[in-house]
Structure 1
Amino acid sequence: MIPRARHFVAAALGSALLIVPAFTGIAHAATSAVASKVYAVPLARTLADVKRVADYWKPDRLKQTDLYTPATPGSGAGSTTSSGAAAGPAAPAAAAVTAAKRTNAAAAVAPALPRQGTAANTMGKVFFRFGDKEFWCSAAAVAARNRSVVATAGHCAYDSRTGKPADYWIFVPNPGPNGGAPDGIYVGASISLHEDWSGKGDYDYDYAFVTVHRGFTWVAGKDGASVMQDVGRLQDNVGGLGLELSKKPGTYTVTAFGYPAGQQPDGTHPFDGKTLLKCLPGTTRYTVAPGRDLQKGVELTPCDFSPGASGGPWVIAYDSTRRLGSLAGVNSLTWNRDAKGRYDSVSAPYFDTTTGDVYRRAASLSTIPNVT
């Protein structure tokens, strides 16, 4: 029997994983890096853009986040079936996408504590819109030289089916009940991703590194209205996970985190999506899913995450005291290998030197100096 996902931190919301049928093929994919095709898609560029997004996420709307839909891979419509993205998605608009110059692969990045305190709060939720509907996913802060990078799944930032980035994208680390944001709200400035996610929904690249602006909190003004108060950079406030690249599956164990909320195959709903959960450290192996163009995926077993954990981090050498470790993947797909009542594993794209190029792009971008 698969160990149940362990409760980790109370008072959070939820995200989603795509439900896929069991696949029987497991291949040891080549680990050599392919030529990088890294893109930066702008979100909120100016102070006016930041305030527009902030005004959308006023406290009254944040209080409704329990009602929003977990984002599903490849589907801006939020479907939780295995139908996935439609064939031939639209290409990104040329004016909105900027090609990044190829760099040397990023070396491993060390985890970082916040400027104050002895423990980090890197994990949280992202909220955004596709079209006229609100969605959410899991995510985590990653240590970076600009101290402003969030890692999540590609489908939690960019809809490859329609060829469009998310609107009104924010990250809320360590979210509290009723829309609480004790460590600030961070508006997305730019998405860094691989063109094979944006262009064709290739699940080998279902990851995104989002550069975020300085954070803010809502405070009461003199007239009782909500007013933005700048709280500084993300990493300064919550710390950042490290980053590990090109780790051979089977040579390490990893702890997966997320906010599962969806239905299990037997129809039960054991998780409420309001609590950060973890699967105990498990073994990893290569996996493939031809229907998703996944040729070099990494599968973690056992893990019974249900829809509600997309974008949640895979952490190597997790230190429960400092609440830090190094990022080695993000939740992308769930699996029901034994065709029984519970999901039994989860998979992530393989983090290789190409992933390092995407990360480095996000870590190099600057943001505006103040958001109020």
Structure 2
Amino acid sequence: MSEEVSEHPPLSGGQDSAPRSRLGRVRTLLVALTVAAAGLAAVTPAQATDDTPGVVSRAAVVDVPGAKGGTAAQRERALLDHWTPERVRRATGEKKAAAPTVDRDDPRLAAAGPHSTAVGKLVFEHAGGKPDHCTATAVDSDSEILVLTAAHCLHEGPGGTWTKNVVFIPAREGGSDPFGRFGAWNVATSALWSSGAEPDWEHDCGLVVTNDNAQGETVLDAAGGYRIVPDARTGEEVSVMGCSGPPYDGEHQEFCQDLIEPTVPPMNMWQVECPNMTPGSSGSPWLLDYDYDTGSGCIGGLNSISDTRGYLASPRFDAKTGEFVAMVERIAAARP
């Protein structure tokens, strides 16, 4: 991979001067294209306060047959066995419509997109047992066991509950799990997400502290990862990869590139236009300084909310994001 140092300083402590990633290729993507005016309209979650920085976290809930009363290794095995191919499919949802038509003239969407091994499918269940999925990304951090996703994939927000039975499957492609599966040991969101009267989409950022895969590898060693950086800028190009659900199958990474612009006040977020990022792409990384040939880049945002015209919004990663990542790194250091 490239040894160029990104102009973006890291928020998380990476081990190398350049981001760690591995890259493969997938087939030409089938994508939607819409033409819309600038500005994010009324928004909805892509899936489903106090101004003091902090973390709300808890031990990941494993609520599956065979897990209760077992050792940590037995609980992990029961969790991974719980996610059968059929259950993973149901987490994506039923395909209710035909895939949208590709616009071959749109340079953001029409080309064959890259496939990052560090990006993958995050499957989980809501408190009542309904399976669901988001997208997540392995983080290049000192602990080697952090995975970034949207906070709303882990916690419903103020007054809500945590999701359970969380498993990350990096580089999932057409039902294959080339780097294994990584069960959650701990889940965390920014305290700014879960406090207040309503969800704070400007702080819709979550991290999963993962267990190792069946081969004993950390998620970073197995799949590669990207550093988290602050200070994305208006007009900067961002590359987005996500496991979009219906009308897509959630088993492939959709790809989009667009230029960052600010959302309309009073919302203070970043936005891009990516109509192929449907429910299930929540948590998808916004990669800055992305290099097609080497797969290098760094994470400057993530899919949080969207509107009906294909616009996506991301929290603005800043110093508070860095404090959040550093706090979860300390939690990760306690994992056996």
Work out whether the TM-score is over 0.5. Answer: yes
In structure 2, how many angstroms separate the alpha carbons of the residues matched to 1:188 and 1:60? 13
Change (3 A) 1:301 1:60: closer
**Within the alignment, does 1:284 sit opposite 2:288 as a pair?**
no
Closer/same/farther in 2, CA of residues 334 and 24 from structure 1, 3 Å limit? closer
Matching residue within 253, 265, 272 for 2:237: 253
Corresponding residue of 1:198: 194
CA 1:260–1:8 in 2, change beyond 3 Å: closer, same or farther? farther
The amino acid across from 1:58 in the alignment is D
Provide the residue aligned with 2:20 in structure 1: none
Aligned pair 1:61/2:84, yes or no?
Answer: yes
Letter in 2 for 1:206: D
Q: Which has the higher strand share?
A: 1
- Unaligned 5+ runs, structure 2: 1-23, 28-38, 43-50, 63-68, 94-114
Q: How far is the alpha carbon of 1:314 from its aligned partner?
A: 0.4
In structure 2, the partner of 1:81 is none
Out of 301, 306, 313, the position equivalent to 1:334 is 306
Query: Partner of 1:52: helix, strand, or coil?
Result: helix
Deviations 1:199-230 (A, max 9, x none): 341101111011111112xxxxxxxxxxxxx3
Q: What is the alpha-carbon distance in structure 2 between the residues aligned to residue 60 and residue 196 of structure 1?
A: 31
* Paired letter, 2:174: P
Q: Provide the rounded CA distance (Å) in 2 between the counterparts of 1:303 and 1:285.
A: 16
Q: What's the offset of the Cα at 1:258?
A: 0.7
What does residue 212 of structure 2 align with?
214
Give the TM-score, by structure 2 length: 0.70
Q: Could you tell me whether the CA contact under 8 Å between 1:192 and 1:361 is conserved in 2?
A: no
Following TM superposition, by how much is the alpha carbon of 1:324 offset from its aligned partner in structure 2, in angstroms? 2.6
- Residue type of the partner of 1:363? E
Contact 1:54–1:187, Cα closer than 8 Å, also in 2: no
2:132 is the alignment partner of 1:165: no
Q: CA deviation at 1:284?
A: 1.1
Residues 8 and 275, structure 1, Cα contact 8 Å, conserved in 2: no
Match of 1:204, SS? helix
Q: Distance in 2 between matches of 1:242 and 1:162?
A: 31
1:142/1:61 Cα in 2 relative to 1: closer, same or farther (>3 Å)? Answer: same
Going from structure 1 to structure 2, the CA distance change for 1:65 and 1:35 (only over 3 Å counts) comes to same
Residue type at the aligned position of 2:333: S
After superposition, what is the alpha-carbon deviation per residue over 1:216-258, rounded to whole angstroms, capped at 9, x for unaligned?
2xxxxxxxxxxxxx331111111111221122333x1111111
- Does the 8 Å CA contact 2:238/2:286 hold for their aligned counterparts? yes
TM-score (norm 1): 0.64
Gapped runs of 5+ residues in structure 1? 1-6, 11-21, 26-33, 71-118, 217-229, 263-268, 337-342
Counterpart check, 1:298 vs 2:270? yes
Cα distance change of structure 1 residues 165 and 51 upon mapping to structure 2, 3 Å threshold: farther
- Report if aligned partners of 1:192, 1:359 keep a CA contact under 8 Å in 2: no
Q: CA deviation at 1:155?
A: 1.0
* Correspondence for 1:175: 172
The one-letter code of the counterpart of 1:346 is L
Contact between 1:125 and 1:139, CA under 8 Å: does it hold in 2? yes
The CA distance in 1 between the partners of 2:145 and 2:293, in whole Å, is 23
Where in structure 1 do 4 or more consecutive aligned residues deviate above 3 Å? 7-10, 22-25, 44-47
Matched, 1:362 2:328: yes
Residues 175 and 23 from structure 1, CA distance in 2 versus in 1: closer, same or farther, beyond 3 angstroms?
A: closer
Count of residues in Structure 1 that have an aligned counterpart in Structure 2:
264
Measured on the aligned residues, the alpha-carbon RMSD in Å equals 2.9
